[in-house]
Amino acid sequence: MRVLGVETSCDETAVAIVEAPADGGPVGSILANVVYSQLVEHRRFGGVVPEIAARAHLERIDGLVIDALAEAGLGLADLDGIAATGGPGLIGGVLVGVMTAKALAFAHDKPFLAVNHLEGHALSVRLTEDVDFPYLLLLVSGGHCQLLTVRGPGDFMRLGTTIDDAVGECFDKTAKLLGLGFPGGPAVEAAAKGGDPQRFALPRPMWRKPGCDFSFSGLKTAVRQTVEKLPAQDAQAVADLCASFQRTVGDVLADRCANALSLAPSSTLVVAGGVAANVYLRGRLETLAAAHGARLVAPPIKLCTDNGAMIAWAGIERLRLGKTDTLDFRPRPRWPLDPSVAVRV
């Protein structure tokens, strides 16, 4: 089974082709995975501008589909389905990807699969690792921070979410305050390698409180107030603050995951999303999982950030269950994985 996946929910235009094993197993093969990151378009603004992102997707998407097919050595007739991120995300970009996928599916009489972007991240680990359902998932990115039990495709139970800001957004804001550039996550991680993680005492919102919810707005405020007091041109102070910030985030994530493992015991803790690429945070979570008799599993770093391979794989998981979508599917700017909970803006 081969599925082409299109991802355009934010600032990466991505197309991939993934092949599933004939025996129905969880580990697949990536036949093509092409990504255009819109860093040049957005860097001077210090963040993603939705209108610019949508225009860049429109300009690049056709060429990336052609490139992916060429890389895989396949034609559209060789595919079993066309998947695209149907939400959540910046609606202009989501529209570009969905309409492209619908057109391909219609023109070549292929099943169309509208994939929840968060489900793409949630299931991405099964593309490269033999991970059985159910498992506990920490989903951490620029726009999302959630703890969920993953029971299968389309079957999620949310244990906690952020009550204000996502952890990835907190990384980006810290980098912007320190003049480290965009995207902020890799910049903060790089600067933290030369810093003292004990120099600055920063607040740990929700730490040691019951439940699995997160909060990061207070930490962002504390970082801003600390930056305002730093001596000018003090590179070591910047490194120390990045290291202290990263340690604080690690404390919070480990604490919330510990609660989740107590409330919903699991032998596997999966971390996915853009922030899962942070090696320090992976180490903290690996230690935490081991202390609870669980193993930590994370996608390869190249599959942590937005990519078409995770959308193609989620499409395969859905196609196996016969969960296809009609061409009147409407893209969704908001789309909770667990429909039983209210959407928090």
pLDDT, one tens digit per residue, over 201-240 is: 999 999 999 999 999 999 999 999 999 999 888 999 999 9
Which is higher by pLDDT, 160 or 341? 160
CA distances, 147 to each of 62, 175, 177, 272, 341 (Å): 35, 25, 28, 11, 13
- Mean pLDDT value across the chain: 95
pLDDT, one tens digit per residue, over 79-93 is: 999 999 999 999 999
pLDDT band per the 50, 70, 90 thresholds, residue 46: confident
Q: Can you give the pLDDT at residue 181?
A: 86
Domain made up of 2-127+303-320: CATH architecture = 2-Layer Sandwich (3.30)
Q: What is the pTM of this model?
A: 0.94
For the chain, what are the domain ranges? 2-127+303-320, 134-298
- Judge if 2-127+303-320 and 134-298 fold alike in CATH terms: yes
Residue type, 154: G
Q: Can you give the pLDDT at residue 39?
A: 76
Q: Span 134-298: which CATH code?
A: 3.30.420.40
Those residues with Cβ within 8 angstroms of residue 117's Cβ, 6 or more apart along the chain or in another chain: 7, 9, 85, 86, 87, 88, 89, 306, 311, 335
